[in-house]
Amino acid sequence: MRSSSNYQRVSKMNTAFGNPKGDAERIDWARVRRQVLNIADEFGETVIALGADAEVVKDAVAHLKFVASKAINPIDRDLVRDGLCDMHVFGYGAHHLMGIDADADMNAVVDGVMTRFMKDPDDRLATQIMHAKKGVTEVYVEGDYPTMVLKSASDQPDAPKGKFLKSASYQDTVFPAV
């Protein structure tokens, strides 16, 4: 059994991805807005998985992200906090309605994401070879094992400059059986 909460695991994962923890006294609202706009993409994926028309959803998500990126009103920190918590409540509620353990699913997702990192020198070599075969040869590394990342150093096939390149040991999320 893990002793860390979902928040603690995701916070640690973000730090490993190069997204340092913010300062509550000096919130970088542009950075928060960019993060929150990713929720629209995930919501879109979810409603498509629930059977919605993919093209209609993609258009709606694009419109929502455009409108949100043009925000002109003052920021209300407490309403932002409330909204984020409400998204968790409804997400966990959906897991509840499905009869599936959300904590177990979250652990599976974070475990899967963490396989994107290179865990040791052998994995690094295999990762560089794998991407070189795809034409991505100009690369650099950030971090230390087991959370070292390989990134594209220039615009290359399917790898724009700065793109995080998945490790050779990457594995898709495997959810617990229900």
- What's the pLDDT tens digit per position in 99-144? 999 999 999 999 999 999 999 999 999 999 999 999 999 999 999 9
- Whether 160 and 128 map to the same domain: the answer is yes
- Whether 27 and 69 map to the same domain: the answer is yes
Domain for residue 176, yes or no? no
- Check if the beta carbon of residue 150 is closer than 8 Å to that of residue 167: yes
pLDDT score at 69: 86
Domain for residue 175, yes or no? no
Query: CA 78, CA 76: separation in Å to the nearest integer?
Result: 6
Model pTM score? 0.86
Predicted confidence (pLDDT) per residue in 27-80, tens digit: 999 999 999 999 999 999 999 999 999 999 999 999 999 998 888 899 999 999
Domain for residue 178, yes or no? no
Domain for residue 174, yes or no? no
Give per-residue burial for 141-176: e unless 16+ CB within 10 Å, then b: eeeeeebbbbbbeeebeebeeebebbbbbbeeeeee
Domain boundary among 75, 90, 114: 114
Structural domain including 34 reads 6-114
- Whether 46 and 99 map to the same domain: the answer is yes
Q: 124 or 1: whose pLDDT is higher?
A: 124
Rounded to an integer, what is the distance from CA 67 to the centroid of its chain? 22
Domain for residue 44, yes or no? yes
- Whether 88 and 150 map to the same domain: the answer is no
- Check if the beta carbon of residue 144 is closer than 8 Å to that of residue 162: no
- Whether 110 and 125 map to the same domain: the answer is no
Helical H segments across 99-135, by residue range: 102-114, 121-132
- Whether 25 and 71 map to the same domain: the answer is yes
- Our count of domains for the chain comes to 2
- Whether 38 and 68 map to the same domain: the answer is yes
Domain for residue 172, yes or no? no
- Whether 35 and 93 map to the same domain: the answer is yes
- Whether 11 and 83 map to the same domain: the answer is yes
Which residue has tokens 């009869």? 99
